[in-house]
């Protein structure tokens, strides 16, 4: 399972926003919608082994589960409509809004604690981290990203003991970072499969299978 956690510093927690003004009155919700699109959509297909957490103003958590996701299209307006529907259903406990979209009160701290308890390895995506290509990436990793703003001092403090990985020296858009991480993991998966295929062939030719 690949997990991405995106911190939406100003993203609206009220459903009363205008779909035509996601970058304005919805507090840059457009950035988070693009992150969801990059996390889940392939050309004509959906990545099912992905889970995304959107943390809105450190008060509300949307958890989007690829294996259960229905009704989502890659365009920002459709995704924002699903987020708006979820915000209308916010209650004390986590609740499913539409298939695969869950909403609950929560913060960066609650998400970090929850993923740590599950045994997920946490990684912060940061320009000043260790280079991606030289870093080991576990199967069960959760990647933390900020939206269009820097991580705040409080967030950096909370994430200070988590390894940082850099995708290069230039500041990239958060959704582009997600695409790069997916691509790197896809390529590593393929070479992993090739390696195990080669091992099976070698074992067969040696009479071990
Ligand atoms: C648009 S950037 C945030 C602001 C950006 N640091 C700037 O100065 O414009 C969004 C997020 O994507 C991730 N990110 C951007 N560039 C990156 C890079 N080169 N390596 C790793 N992560 C990066 C970080 O998590 C960052 O907080």
pLDDT at 1: 94
Do 116 and 122 touch, CB atoms closer than 8 A? Answer: yes
* pLDDT (tens digit per residue) in 135-191: 998 878 999 999 999 999 999 999 999 999 999 999 999 999 999 999 999 999 887
Q: Which CATH architecture has domain 2-205?
A: 3-Layer(aba) Sandwich (3.40)
pLDDT at 8: 98
pLDDT at 176: 98
127 alpha carbon – ligand 1 mean position (Å): 6
What is the rounded CA–CA span in Å between residue 82 and residue 143?
23
> Looking at the predicted structure, is the pLDDT value of residue 200 above 90?
no
Q: Taking Cα atoms as reference points, which of 35, 20, 101, 29 lies closest to residue 67?
A: 101
Helix residue spans in the chain (DSSP H): 29-40, 76-87, 108-117, 153-158, 174-205
Which of 127, 131, 141, 166 maximizes ligand 1 atoms within 8 Å of its Cβ, making it the mutation to test the pocket? 127
Which of 124, 172, 179 maximizes ligand 1 atoms within 8 Å of its Cβ, making it the mutation to test the pocket? 172
3 alpha carbon – ligand 1 mean position (Å): 17
The domain limits of the chain are 2-205
146 forms bridges with which residues in the sheet?
7
């Amino acid at each position: 399972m690949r997990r991405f956690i995106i911190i939406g510093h100003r993203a609206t927690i009220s459903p009363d926003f205008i779909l035509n003004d996601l970058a304005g009155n919805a507090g840059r919700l457009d950035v988070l919608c693009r992150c969801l699109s990059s996390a889940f959509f392939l050309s004509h297909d959906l990545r099912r082994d992905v889970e995304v957490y959107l943390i809105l103003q450190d008060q509300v958590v949307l958890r989007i589960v690829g294996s259960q996701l229905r009704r989502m299209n890659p365009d920002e307006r459709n995704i924002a409509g699903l987020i708006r529907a979820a915000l209308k259903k916010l209650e004390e406990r986590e609740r499913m809004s539409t298939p695969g979209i869950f909403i609950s009160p929560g913060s960066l701290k609650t998400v970090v604690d929850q993923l740590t308890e599950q045994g997920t390895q946490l990684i912060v995506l940061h320009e000043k981290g260790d280079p991606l290509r030289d870093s080991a990436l576990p199967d069960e990793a959760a990647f933390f990203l900020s939206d269009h703003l820097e991580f705040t001092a409080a967030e950096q403090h909370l994430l200070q003991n988590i390894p940082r990985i850099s995708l290069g020296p230039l500041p990239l858009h958060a959704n582009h970072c997600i695409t790069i991480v997916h691509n790197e993991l896809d390529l590593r998966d393929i070479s992993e499969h090739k390696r195990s295929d080669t091992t099976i062939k070698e074992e067969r030719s040696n009479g071990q299978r």
